[in-house]
Structure 1
Amino acid sequence: MASHDHYPIAKQHMLVDARESIRSARVIIDELHDERVFDLIGEYVRMGRTTKVLAPVKVPDVNTNALGMAYAQAVANVFGFDVASDVFQITSEKRDRRVDAMSRLGLPPLFDGEIEAGADYILVDDVFTTGGTLACLRGYVHRHGGNVIVCSTLAAGTRVTREATRYDRRQMGVALAPTSVRVRELRNNLADEYHALDSVFCEGLKYGLQQLTEQEARFVSSQARTIRATRESVSEWFAGRIRAARSSGIQKNG
């Protein structure tokens, strides 16, 4: 998707020309999206219930990415649902421009807006990287009384797709929550520091190790193995990196 001719306009130019960005996003969806995904989404739809489609977009005056919004509208059009247009991501722009896992982990996205209690929500986004944005949005919806029934993205990062469930040579599903294998690996690599690191995450990020995504758990597990090999404290290492990431984010916000 990133090599598509329309990608730069759809991804970065919303503030320059919103209509052109949305048109480019629609072209990408029409040309690259696999229609079978709609069938898979439909398997989770519950008849007779209010259902909305929600993308983690930023407020209009800072949003530069039309892809998530356009995909939300495409899914809504297929099923006859409404797009939830009053929930926004309020995290600073700086997090989005970082690709390293620790920076993204240390600056989880925040959301604001109204969730309809009891309604079902289909969450969509443009790219699945670590899954952190979707996981945080899912938590926000659930905390405010909504029900997330399925998540879908237009594409996934290279690391994710290498391990995806394959269907006719195309990746049709990836794990958002940690697999049982990953949970065991994480516990083994953390050993006696598991509870200490869980406390670090709860204090610094407001959620524990059990709320990590599969890709985040993979990163933490790999780092833990490397850190323990140097006889450093895993919990202290992560505590320092989380403080640094959050301090950087706060500086960006002023």
Structure 2
Amino acid sequence: MNKRESIRAARQIIDEIHDMRIFDLIGEYVRFGKTTKVIAPIKVPSVNTNALSLTYAQAVANIFGYNIEDRVFQVTSEKRDRKIDTMLRLCFPPVFTGEIEAGADYIVVDDVFTTGGTLAGLRGYIHRHGGNVIVCSTLAAGTRVTREATRHDQRQMGVALAPTNDRIRDLRNKLGDEYRAVDSVFCEGLRYGLQQLTEQEARFVSSQARTIRTYRGSIAEWFERGIIEARSSGI
């Protein structure tokens, strides 16, 4: 399938599955009078194959009359792109490069919300370079995400990117006296701590902690081994 056919197929998918009310929700976050751009976590044109993200970005831009930010790209990572294992995705957060307009507002869009790591990574990149993310939107979400989502007419209309207060409490309860040790393992091995996880990533850590405790193992040691194995794994 060539580029033109991919875009045509992407437009058809968007028309079929997207709820127009999403545009109303996005509009609630728009700050009129501010320079606002739409951005998707795409790779450089020579390797970009995600027509859905770019086409959705164009649809949002057209609705609101904004431009697409086309100077920022996700640096490719084969280990992240080819794996769906949550531990591997934790160990290989997305890396971005390119120019962000300081002071501008950004609407971040993507095709599917799974663990939220890509959205969180792009949001962090924009904020570190002086931009401001006002809202994130995706075409769809994974099954695990939608189970906990707010629903209208059986359609998912909003999920948490950052951990909720309930999730943080659950994480602290599951980790117990190992909370600080696990946080240190993440900070040392991944350069970000438990507070920087997404809601879905925190859910994963909490679930693993419960399983590890069942076998009376050290949660911190388990994650330390997992990080080392993931970082040293081949394709």
Name the TM-score class by shorter chain: over 0.9
CA RMSD after TM alignment: 1.2
Give the SS at the match of 1:88: strand
- TM value normalised by structure 1: 0.89
In the alignment, does 2:82 pair up with 1:117? no
Aligned to 1:91: 76
239-248 vs 123-132, which moves further? 239-248
Aligned to 2:37: 52
The one-letter amino acid paired with 1:195 is: R
In the alignment, does 2:158 pair up with 1:168? no
Aligned to 2:208: 223
Report the Cα distance in structure 1 between the residues aligned to 2:112 and 2:78, rounded to whole angstroms: 16
Residue-by-residue CA offset, 1:10-36 (whole Å, 9 max, x unaligned): xxx5xxx11111111111112221110
Q: CA deviation at 1:179?
A: 1.3
In the alignment, does 2:219 pair up with 1:234? yes
Aligned to 1:154: 139
In the alignment, is the contact (CA less than 8 A) between 1:54 and 1:84 conserved in 2?
yes
Q: CA deviation at 1:228?
A: 2.0
Give the SS at the match of 2:50: coil
**1:1-254 to 2 correspondence within 5 Å?**
17-248=2-233
**Any stretches of 5+ residues in structure 1 without a counterpart?**
1-12
Residue-by-residue CA offset, 1:113-151 (whole Å, 9 max, x unaligned): 111111101100000001111011111111111100000
Report the Cα distance in structure 1 between the residues aligned to 2:85 and 2:77, rounded to whole angstroms: 16
Give the SS at the match of 1:126: strand
Report the Cα distance in structure 2 between the residues aligned to 1:18 and 1:124, rounded to whole angstroms: 20
Give the SS at the match of 2:167: helix
Residue-by-residue CA offset, 1:144-165 (whole Å, 9 max, x unaligned): 1110000000000011111110
Report the Cα distance in structure 1 between the residues aligned to 2:158 and 2:187, rounded to whole angstroms: 29
The one-letter amino acid paired with 2:176 is: A
Report the Cα distance in structure 2 between the residues aligned to 1:80 and 1:242, rounded to whole angstroms: 44
**Any stretches of 5+ residues in structure 2 without a counterpart?**
none
Identity of aligned residues (%): 75
Report the Cα distance in structure 2 between the residues aligned to 1:77 and 1:227, rounded to whole angstroms: 49
45-54 vs 24-33, which moves further? 24-33
Give the SS at the match of 1:155: strand
- TM value normalised by structure 2: 0.96
* Matched length: 235
Report the Cα distance in structure 2 between the residues aligned to 1:220 and 1:80, rounded to whole angstroms: 41
Report the Cα distance in structure 2 between the residues aligned to 1:166 and 1:173, rounded to whole angstroms: 8
91-100 vs 113-122, which moves further? 91-100
Residue-by-residue CA offset, 1:52-84 (whole Å, 9 max, x unaligned): 111111111222211111111110010011101
The one-letter amino acid paired with 2:42 is: V
Residue-by-residue CA offset, 1:192-211 (whole Å, 9 max, x unaligned): 11111111111222211011
208-217 vs 93-102, which moves further? 93-102
Report the Cα distance in structure 2 between the residues aligned to 1:23 and 1:161, rounded to whole angstroms: 27
Report the Cα distance in structure 1 between the residues aligned to 2:76 and 2:185, rounded to whole angstroms: 21
